[in-house]
Structure 1
Amino acid sequence: MAKTASLALLLAFTPLAATAATPEEAYISLRDRSTAKLRKLEAAGKAAGAAEAEEQKTLKELGEKMEAIIGPVSVPGFQKLGKYSIETLFDGVGADQLDGLAFSGDDDKSQLTVSTQSLAEAFLRAHRKNWLKGEKPPQSLGEALPSPYFYTLAVSPDAGVEKYADLPIAKPAAATLATALLDLRSQDDAGGTLPDEIIVAVASEGRLYIASTPAKAKIESAPACEKIWSEHQAKAKKAMDSYSASGLADEKDFEKYSKLQEEGSSAFRHCFAEHAKSEKFFAALTQEAQALADKLAATKR
């Protein structure tokens, strides 16, 4: 009889154990419920006062849950005390970023965001429908990491990430994924501006590390790339002059100008990527990225 009762008790609790939410699932549930409630108030013009107080209280609770999920983080070159990566639950800059903890670099320029692979995958699923037009939405984290748009969404709320070249690092032994790219962050079209930053992403032991740091090697442009940019600029100037002459009335001229600027910027980056591979600075940049990837992969949970 005792055996039968014990078995019945075990069977009664088994479904509960099997369906218990993971810490990440519980976090996402709270975040989504709170965000939906607050944005409904915001849409109704009731975002001030009590709603703001509730937002701050919820951000604190979510931050504490995130600290428990991520655990202690100690990466040389970065502060040990991180902050919750989501800055607001209302609609705006700092909202809807990759869930995790953000750490400042000791140099006050580098940045590190630490998330989990499951949170990053949930982030991707949530953004597939509004992915960058013309780019196939990534179906996995491995497909997402080479995309500059992923980093724009995940860690760069106030500027777009423009990729100039992939840096061919070797995957550290402790990592399941590792990607590095040379980039520039810009609020407008980057034009013929040279890149100045390295972004490295490493997945290891269930965590996802995304670090950015200023490029140390001196980066130079090839004359051929400067020529391409200058030619597009000359054509764009003609379109803008024509637009100005029309009293800013001929929208076709402005559209032509914008298209030429975009095409010139893209052509410059493509040219840079092709020529940079044979330059000494490219090897130096790859070494910088490799050192950072190795450091991230060596971080223990």
Structure 2
Amino acid sequence: MRADTRTYALRWRVMRRRLFAAGLLAVLLPLPVQADPIDAYVAARDQAIAASLAAAKAGKADDPAVQKQEEASAAELARLLSVALGPLAFEGMGPPRYSLGTFAEDAATPTRRLDGLAFANADYSTRLVVTPEAVFTAWLAARAKDDGAPRALRSGLPTAVGTAEFFQNAIAGDGGYFQPYVALPVAASPGETALAVLGLQVDEPAGTTAPNEISILRIGNGRAVVGMTMAKLTIGPIPACEAVWTPYKVKADALARMLAKEKKPSANRQDEITRLASDGTDAYRACFAREAPKQAFFTAAVKAAEAFLALARGN
């Protein structure tokens, strides 16, 4: 064998050994672990919250540079959520935005709002917040530990959805808070959790004002969706509940007449009027929950809630 041929053969044997070793090493060594999209989102969100808290503690919450950074963080978090949630489309709803307007309540308290992608129709009468189920579960557990949180928040989803606190932090807008009045027995699809309530957005005791808004919670396919929509229902007076409300109203009106006659209005009397209005509203709402299923509007309310759930399942 010629010398150049022997040299070529030797080089080929060395190369084969190296290729074999490289291939074996590739089999033996673990492949790089890809970051879970939800974990990546949560890590980025927590980093944004920490930065916001630090800025607030330093007295720089209103600094334009800090606000600009928070806007950039919100845009990036929306992108990460879009990756984690996958394609989303809801009929009649505009493009999503990140649901958190701020990352901190104050220098010591992270935001209590549910973080997700927020959707709304043109007149804002229908709204949705969509988030990974794992993010929703962690959020609800945190809200159940808040100071003053009602026990219902940690007593299961049906009772949690029956609280004003749930919707106030999940989706409520700036026009007051959503007060649930009565649960609506909606049908869930296989593998889905679906809950709905009929209620009213309020910023003061509502008396006998009829509820006019439906709110839902849907969990399925790894996503949680919280929604609110205006309900076109014809709800007339319920005599039994009017009778419950009347004694409170009579007492409050009498106190208001006395207050009007006083040259120096009594703060205690004003507080008593407010208390009567609040207690009377609570009594009326409890009566409404008992009596509503017997009323003609109830079937229409359930159908409207199921139609809203169908929308919330997406396209």
TM-score class, shorter-chain normalisation, is: 0.7 to 0.9
- Aligned CA RMSD, in angstroms, stands at 2.9
On the 8 A contact 1:120/1:141 being kept in 2, the answer is no
Q: Does 1:84 align with 2:98?
A: yes
Q: Does 1:53 align with 2:68?
A: yes
SS for the counterpart of 1:277 is helix
Return the letter of the residue paired with 2:293.
K
Residue number in structure 2 paired with 1:70: 85
Question: Quick one: distance in 1 between partners of 2:265 and 2:53?
Answer: 38
Q: Does 1:169 align with 2:186?
A: yes
Q: CA offsets per residue over residues 227-269 of structure 1, 9 Å max, x none?
A: 3223212223444556674835554x44433332221011111
Q: Describe the shift of the 1:106–1:38 C-alpha distance in structure 2 as closer, same or farther (beyond 3 A).
A: closer
Q: Does 1:225 align with 2:241?
A: yes
Q: Percentage identity across aligned positions?
A: 28
On the 8 A contact 2:152/2:160 being kept in 1, the answer is no
On the 8 A contact 2:241/2:284 being kept in 1, the answer is yes
Q: Does 1:32 align with 2:49?
A: no
Q: Describe the shift of the 1:291–1:64 C-alpha distance in structure 2 as closer, same or farther (beyond 3 A).
A: same
SS for the counterpart of 1:202 is strand
Q: Describe the shift of the 1:102–1:144 C-alpha distance in structure 2 as closer, same or farther (beyond 3 A).
A: same
Return the letter of the residue paired with 1:170.
A
Return the letter of the residue paired with 1:72.
P
Aligned residues: 289
Offset at residue 102 of structure 1 (A): 1.2
Q: TM-score, normalised by structure 1?
A: 0.83
Residue number in structure 1 paired with 2:13: none
On the 8 A contact 1:172/1:294 being kept in 2, the answer is no
1:268 pairs, out of 266, 284, 287, with: 284
Q: CA offsets per residue over residues 160-201 of structure 1, 9 Å max, x none?
A: 11111111111123x420011101011222222111111122
2:114 pairs, out of 98, 103, 106, with: 98
Q: CA offsets per residue over residues 40-96 of structure 1, 9 Å max, x none?
A: 3224322212211211111111121122222221222323x211111122438xx54
Question: Quick one: distance in 1 between partners of 2:81 and 2:281?
Answer: 39
Q: Describe the shift of the 1:108–1:136 C-alpha distance in structure 2 as closer, same or farther (beyond 3 A).
A: closer
Return the letter of the residue paired with 1:46.
K
On the 8 A contact 1:70/1:100 being kept in 2, the answer is no
Return the letter of the residue paired with 2:214.
I
Residue number in structure 2 paired with 1:287: 303
Return the letter of the residue paired with 1:177.
T
On the 8 A contact 2:128/2:312 being kept in 1, the answer is no
Offset at residue 7 of structure 1 (A): 6.9
Residue number in structure 2 paired with 1:199: 215
1:216 pairs, out of 232, 255, 265, with: 232
On the 8 A contact 2:152/2:159 being kept in 1, the answer is no
Q: CA offsets per residue over residues 210-242 of structure 1, 9 Å max, x none?
A: 222211221122123223223212223444556
Question: Quick one: distance in 2 between partners of 1:134 and 1:255?
Answer: 24
On the 8 A contact 1:121/1:140 being kept in 2, the answer is no
Offset at residue 112 of structure 1 (A): 1.6
On the 8 A contact 1:199/1:213 being kept in 2, the answer is yes
Q: TM-score, normalised by structure 2?
A: 0.80
Question: Quick one: distance in 2 between partners of 1:46 and 1:231?
Answer: 52
Residue number in structure 2 paired with 1:9: 29
SS for the counterpart of 2:151 is coil
Question: Quick one: distance in 2 between partners of 1:145 and 1:169?
Answer: 14
Q: CA offsets per residue over residues 103-150 of structure 1, 9 Å max, x none?
A: 112564111221121110111122122165443332655653343421
Return the letter of the residue paired with 1:199.
S
On the 8 A contact 2:179/2:199 being kept in 1, the answer is yes
On the 8 A contact 1:172/1:293 being kept in 2, the answer is no
The structure number with the bigger radius of gyration is 2
Q: Does 1:23 align with 2:43?
A: no
On the 8 A contact 2:144/2:151 being kept in 1, the answer is no
Question: Quick one: distance in 2 between partners of 1:243 and 1:22?
Answer: 63
On the 8 A contact 1:132/1:149 being kept in 2, the answer is no
More off after superposition, 286-295 vs 115-124 = 286-295
On the 8 A contact 2:152/2:163 being kept in 1, the answer is no
Q: Describe the shift of the 1:194–1:61 C-alpha distance in structure 2 as closer, same or farther (beyond 3 A).
A: same
Question: Gaps spanning 5+ residues in structure 2: where?
Answer: 1-19
